[in-house]
Amino acid sequence: MEEVNVVDPLKTKEVQAQTQAPKPKVKMNKYALACALLASTNSILLGYDIGVISGAILFIKEDLKINRAREEVLVGTLNVCSLIGSLLSGKTSDLIGRRYTIVLAAATFFLGALLMGLAPSYPYLIAGRVVAGIGVGYSLMIAPVYTAEISPAMTRGFMSSLPEVFITVGILLGYVVNYAFAGIPKGWNWRVMLLLAVVPALGIGLGVVVMPESPRWLVMKKRFDEAKMILVKTSENEEEAEARLGEITKAWELHESSSFVGQSVWKELLWRPTSATRRILIAAIGINFFMQASGNDAVIYYLPEVFKAAGITKKKQLFAINVIMGTAKATFVMISALFLDKYGRRPLLLLGSTGMVVALTILGLGSNFLEHSAHKPSWAIALCVIAVCAYVSFFSIGLGPITWVYSSEVFPLRLRAQGTSLAVSVNRLVSGIVTMTFLSFANRITFGVLFFVLAGIMVLGTIFFFFFMPETKGRSLEDIGKLFEDKKTSDEGREMSCA
């Protein structure tokens, strides 16, 4: 006689209630947040330069009598030279640590800001931007890496997006400084604007001294006791700290026992990468490429030129529009940062890139209409202003913060510093090329057509993100690499770990 299983309805309801019970609210670790905030303030240096140079360049052109080609070189030099800092930062941070690399970035930018503000001529101004660019390159790579390495998994999205928040704050600060100092005597206005960059650089250099070192870097140097002390402070309890230390140590020991020990990290990244490493590289380099190919930096740098072509000629009005746009950008990057750990990277990235396509298309239509209109109607100018605000806002929802989050978390520990530096170097190279050619292209094909081209690039970017960017929300840094493994390899690894 067959045995009949009788389901107890009361028990079933109890099980359902347990499974449907709301998850406990994730708490923000205050110590980890303080460390992430301190490290991320380094990114304010790039933001301030982007914001302030967009206004200062109007006065520099008048004072130093430079043409359009020299203007593009002046603006783009910082981005191209930040490539040097980005490439050096990986090896530097592995040698001297993440913390002192942040200090080095701030000190280099401090020197560059002094040279720019006191420059007696165009060549000295270029020299200042070269030095400042190297500092920016260091800061763009190291701030997200340090933040990702010190953050707990469940709040890493928010904390790793803080560098973009501070870039945006820096841009807004630069716009406010432009507006505030536009009226001071000619020859002094742009110098004061550029010299004020030494203030955040000095504050960052001094503030970082009180920060702890990255626990993952300490494990690399076999300083386990120090790593545990920091993990205890950045975890909910000692058990969680022990578990995190065990995970990090195991991942590093696995590397030390691998066939790559003694070989160059660059060889492992570029010469003979595993299929998982190749996929990580494609994802990290791809998102950094599209971040700058979208033209966001160039549009912000040359926004006064864009609106001068649209019919707005007064400097105060141009600076006021900059402040409005900077406020919109800052608002939406904060919204994105707050929801990254709740909704994940992919949904916000795809929302942001799709929104950018729509905004750029509208901006292209509005600009094209104004370029062929003799009267420059106010509704068309307003449409362009709204489209620009929407464009930078959607960038701040998706590509802006998520590029830094993704770049810093997908690489395994042994490759993280130099892998991230390679991805950021692509970011800087593309940014330099776009900013150095933006006005020339606009002059040849008009701003309207150029915005249509950028919209097309973002269509390709959206397709890339959909197919090549897996979700990393809530996973530990040591666990993310499995997302990029072949299914067969991943299954074999699980079987071996069970055995």
Which amino acid does the sequence have at 445?
A: I
Q: How confident is the model over 181-188, as a mean pLDDT?
A: 81
Q: What is the pLDDT of residue 486?
A: 66
pLDDT tens by residue, 313-338: 677 777 777 788 888 888 898 899 88
Helix axes 399-409, 122-150, angle to 10 degrees: 60
Cα–Cα distance between 421 and 415 in angstroms, integer?
Answer: 10
Report DSSP letters for 365-417, one per residue. HHHHHHHT-SS--HHHHHHHHHHHHHHHHHHHHTHHHHHHHHHHHSS-HHHHH
Q: Tens digits of per-residue pLDDT, 349-371?
A: 999 999 999 999 999 998 888 88
Q: Is the pLDDT of residue 262 over 70?
A: no
Q: Calculate what percentage of the chain has a pLDDT beyond 70.
A: 89
| DSSP state at residue 21 | S
The total of other beta-carbon atoms located within 10 Å of residue 66's CB is 17
Give yes or no for residue 114 having a pLDDT over 80: yes
Encode pLDDT of 388-443 as tens digits.
889 999 999 999 899 988 988 888 877 888 888 889 889 989 988 998 888 888 88
Write down the pLDDT at residue 4.
43
User: pLDDT of 205-259, one tens digit each?
Assistant: 787 778 899 998 999 888 999 999 999 998 888 888 888 888 888 878 776 655 4
Judge whether 124 and 411 are in contact, CB under 8 Å.
Answer: no
Please tell me the predicted confidence (pLDDT) of residue 457: 96
Query: What's the mean per-residue pLDDT of the chain?
Result: 83
Residue 495 has pLDDT above 70, yes or no: no
User: Among 104-113, 201-210, 456-465, where is mean pLDDT lowest?
Assistant: 201-210
Whether 498 has a pLDDT exceeding 60, the answer reads no
Residue ranges and CATH numbers for the domains of the chain are 29-211+258-490 (1.20.1250.20)
Q: Are 297 and 435 contacting, i.e. CB atoms less than 8 angstroms apart?
A: yes
pLDDT digits (tens, 9 = 90+) for 2-61: 444 444 444 444 444 444 444 555 677 888 888 888 888 888 888 888 888 878 888 888
Average the pLDDT over each of 23-37, 181-195, 267-281, 291-305 and give the range with the smallest value: 23-37
CA distance 72 to 105: 24
